[in-house]
Amino acid sequence: MAQQDSARQAAEGTPAAETPEPAESGEDLEFLDDTADAEERERAHRERGTARPITVVGNPVLHRRCQDVTEFDDKLTQLIDDMFASQRAAEGVGLAANQIGVDLRVFVYDCPDDDGVRHVGAICNPVIEELPAESRVLDESNEGCLSVPTAYAPLARPDYAVCRGQDAQGKPVVVRGTGYFARCLQHETDHLDGYLYIDRLSKRDRKDALRQMAEGTPRYETVPND
């Protein structure tokens, strides 16, 4: 996910909402602490990794569901390192594997929440839990995507998200986010399901986002759709 359009976000002044209680699911939820040593962990990943160019809308790998991660090995570890390096090079806050052309269900993130707390991690085989209607509060903030460079559009998403998946060793993890970070978790999981954020827009807003992309120049290397 691209960093938010800071100027517009500041103008909108969207306040952070209170964190709702997670839905009961028949088991206790133990949320991953992805804030501890965030800077050191992110630096270690990207220093081991190599930045790769970003695939953009129209590339087939972005428009189909990615394959599940079944092997938690050194190749996966290297992929995650490369994803962190690529994310930093593109100045993003989240990156899915298919955004660097890899057909696997894994994403990384280095994203602040609405309180400015930094969250860093990697999730394999993510699933966003469905919120009960009474706990669902929509936040219509600006959203951007590294695979739709230079374009932004307002998009309503729940302001709280719980994401289940596995870590790089295959152990189950549960991550929760509020506000901007909740948006990031949903945005990246969408990528792995074969959807871009512009697929959730009206035809008019999608057309406008693609126009913004056509008129802009990305600040990072992209893969041409030849």
pLDDT digits (tens, 9 = 90+) for 108-131: 999 999 999 999 999 999 999 998
What are the catalytic residues? Answer: 188
pLDDT above 60 (res 21): no
**pLDDT for res 183:** 98
Cα distance between residue 206 and residue 199, in whole Å = 7
pLDDT above 80 (res 1): yes
Task: Determine the average pLDDT of the residues in 180-188.
Answer: 98
Q: Which residues pair with 55 in a beta bridge?
A: 223
42-57 pLDDT, tens per residue? Answer: 999 999 999 999 999 9
Coil vs helix vs strand at 175: strand
Which CATH code for domain 32-216?
3.90.45.10
Hey, CA dihedral for 71, 1, 188, 163, is it positive or negative?
A: positive
Coil vs helix vs strand at 53: coil
What type of residue sits at position 48?
R
Give domain limits for the chain: 32-216
* Alpha-helical runs (H) found in the chain: 6-12, 38-48, 74-89, 179-192, 203-215
Beta strands (DSSP E) in the chain are 54-55, 94-96, 106-112, 118-128, 138-145, 148-158, 160-166, 172-178, 222-223
* Alpha-helical runs (H) found in 98-201: 179-192
Cα distance between residue 144 and residue 126, in whole Å = 20
**pLDDT for res 13:** 42
Task: Determine the average pLDDT of the residues in 24-46.
Answer: 84
Cα distance between residue 206 and residue 212, in whole Å = 10
What type of residue sits at position 89?
A
Only one residue has tokens 């929440």, namely 113
Q: Which residues pair with 187 in a beta bridge?
A: none
Please calculate the CA angle 46-71-82 and round it to the nearest 5 degrees.
15
Please indicate, yes or no, whether the overall pTM of this predicted structure exceeds 0.85: yes
Cα distance between residue 136 and residue 94, in whole Å = 23
Q: What is the CA radius of gyration of the chain?
A: 17
